Amino acid sequence: MSTKSKTATGNGNASSNGTAVNGEWPTRARHLLVDLDGTLVRQQEAIDGAAALLAHFHDRYAIVSNNSTHTAQGLAKRLGRLGLRVPPGRIVLAGELAVRQLAQQHPGARVLLIGSPALQRFARAEGCDLVQESADFVLLALDMHFSHARLAVVANELLRGARLIATNADATHPGPQGRVVPETGALLAAVIAASGQQPWRVIGKPAPLLFEEGLRRLGAEPGSTVVVGDNPLTDAEGAARLGMACLLVGQTPGAVAPTVAGLFAAREEAPQYRLSESTSKVWRSVRTEVS
C-alpha cells in the first residue's frame, strides 16, 4: 500500500481526512490508537501523563504495539503494576498477531519460533506446531537469549527453504535515562547478514495489520481516530497509510510534546504530523515492504 507523504503542519488545521488535530483534539478525536514503548512506558516505569491520557479516552482507545515479548494478558498485568489499568482486549501486539495469522493462514505448518517463553506458550495454545528443524516458517520475535548458536540454526533453516516472518523491524525502543533497548530488528539484521535472506513478511507497524486490528476492536473509523506515538517511521508512517492523523511525542523531529502529558498541557500548539517525503524515502530504503 503506497503512501503519499505530507510535511508537518504547525497551524492546527484539519487533516485531509477531516480529523482536526489542534487545541481541541482530545474532544474532537472519537478514538485513539496509542503506542506503548516510548509513549506510555519506558521499561518498568510509566511515562508522565500516560494514566491521564488513557483515563480521558476510557473505553475509546486501544494500545497498538510492536511488542513481541509479552501476551496481552501478561502485559495487562505488567501495566497494572505501573498504574495503568488496561483490559487485555484493548492491547494489540505484533507477536500475538503474527502467531495468530500464521496459525490461521497456514494450519499444520512447522514453525521455528524465536521468541520469549510467553510467546512460545501462546503459539502452542493457538495450535502452532513448534519445531527445532525442518521448519516451513521461521517466526522471529524478540528473544532476550538470542545466541550465535541460535543464529546458525535460523540461517541454515532459511537457506534450506523456510520462509522468514518477522514480528517487527524496529532496531531499538526507548529505555530509561535515554538508553536504548535492542529490539527484534537488531536480531533481524543479524539473520539477514548470516543467511542473505530477506523476510517474507513483516507484521508490525508501519504495516497496516496492527492498526486495522485496533480499529476493528474499537469499531472505529480511520477518519475519526488519532494515533499517538513516538516514532515517525512506525507510528506516523503507519497512520498515514490508513489516512489517520498522528501526534508524536518525545525527542523525535516533529514531536509536539516531550511526553503525552504535554498533549494536554500545551495542546494549543499541537500540530498534525505527517512524514516528509525525504523521511519516507529513508524508511523505504531500510524497511521491507509488507505484502
Q: What is the dihedral of CA 250, 255, 258, 259, to 10 degrees?
A: -70
pLDDT band at 284 (very low <50, low <70, confident <90, very high): very low
> Strand 61-65 and strand 31-34: pairing?
parallel
Residues of the chain with pLDDT > 70: what percent? 82
- The mean per-residue pLDDT over the stretch 30-57 comes to 95
- Angstrom CA distances, 3 to 152, 208, 258, 280, 291, stand at 37, 12, 27, 9, 14
pLDDT band at 277 (very low <50, low <70, confident <90, very high): very low
For the beta carbon of residue 209, count every other beta carbon within 10 angstroms: 20
| Beta strands, E only, the chain | 31-34, 41-42, 45-46, 61-65, 91-93, 110-114, 129-130, 137-140, 163-166, 172-174, 180-182, 201-202, 225-229, 245-248
Cell 510467553: give the residue.
118
Measured in residues, the chain has a length of 291
Sorted by sequence, the CB contacts under 8 Å of residue 92 that are 6+ apart come out as 62, 63, 64, 65, 72, 210, 213, 214, 217
3-state secondary structure of 213: helix
- Could you give all domains of the chain from N- to C-terminal order, each with its CATH number? 25-66+205-286 (3.40.50.1000), 96-202 (3.40.50.1000)
Is the pLDDT at 5 greater than 50, yes or no?
Answer: no
- The mean per-residue pLDDT over the stretch 132-159 comes to 98
pLDDT band at 265 (very low <50, low <70, confident <90, very high): low
Among 29, 34, 167, 26, residue whose Cα is nearest residue 90: 34
Single-letter amino acid code for the residue at 256 = V
Instruction: Walk across the sheet containing 225-229 and list its strands.
Output: 91-93, 61-65, 31-34, 225-229, 245-248
The confidence score (pLDDT) of residue 23 equals: 53
Among 85, 102, 204, 116, residue whose Cα is nearest residue 163: 102
Q: Which range is least confidently modeled, 22-36, 186-200, 239-253?
A: 22-36
Residues of the chain with pLDDT > 90: what percent? 74
- The mean per-residue pLDDT over the stretch 117-123 comes to 98
Is the pLDDT at 37 greater than 90, yes or no?
Answer: yes
Assigned C-alpha cell, 92: 494489540
